[in-house]
Amino acid sequence: MKVAIYPGSFDPLTNGHMDIINKTSKLFDQIVAAVVHNVSKQALFTLAEREEMLRENTKHLSNVRVESFSGLLVDYARRKQACAIIRGLRTVADFEYEMYIAMVNKDLYPEAETVFVLADSKYIYVSSSIVKEVALLNGSVKGLVPESVNKALALKKAALNPEEKPDER
Ligand code: ADP
């Protein structure tokens, strides 16, 4: 059974992430989309909310599991007996950053290969941070995130600014 881990913050899940999950679910027996629990990184959505977004949007893919983990990715990958770690690449800058991490991970856990998957050209500029910034400033992120995430962003925005009325733009 060829298990691949797709780790990320997914804060929130975007259509760029979904594209990588859809593509790689055809390449491996099982994909574990794993939400990183990073206490030092302030997230907009809770771990449970991010897991739920992934679960809701991958329920049509029978070989995709959703989990979360803390600690070193390689320790988690070893526990899962994963043969691959998936990372998405948008730009050369992504590659430069990811290349060193992939090398360290290979040293620490040689049984897994890091597999880089190119972003779809439609989503090259899509990142969770851009989505959050646009959505929280009243911009539309329709088409960049799954519909359920679009709704979750609107609810989060309303919870953060309870005073703000829709016409205060
Ligand atoms: P991290 O904080 O680990 O980078 P992210 O949730 O931002 O977590 O991203 C998880 C993975 O998805 C990373 O490999 C990232 O490069 C990839 N990714 C993010 N956005 C896109 C996108 N628009 N297209 C393809 N891959 C993406």
Write the DSSP string, 7-56.
EE--TT--HHHHHHHHHHTTTSSEEEEEEE--TTS--SS-HHHHHHHHHH
Q: Which atom of ligand 1 is nearest to the CA of 86?
A: 14
> How many domains does one find in the chain?
1
Full residue range of the structural domain in which residue 11 is found: 3-124
Active site residue 23: no
**78 lies in some domain:** yes
**Which residue in the list 37, 65, 78, 90 is annotated as catalytic?**
90
**99 lies in some domain:** yes
**138 lies in some domain:** no
Provide the CATH number for the domain around residue 108.
Answer: 3.40.50.620
- Tell me the whole-structure pTM to 2 decimals: 0.94
Task: Quick: pLDDT tens for 63-122.
Answer: 999 999 999 999 999 999 999 999 999 999 999 999 999 999 999 999 999 999 999 999
**151 lies in some domain:** no
Q: Is 15 in the pocket of ligand 1 (CB under 6 A)?
A: no
Q: Is 87 in the pocket of ligand 1 (CB under 6 A)?
A: yes
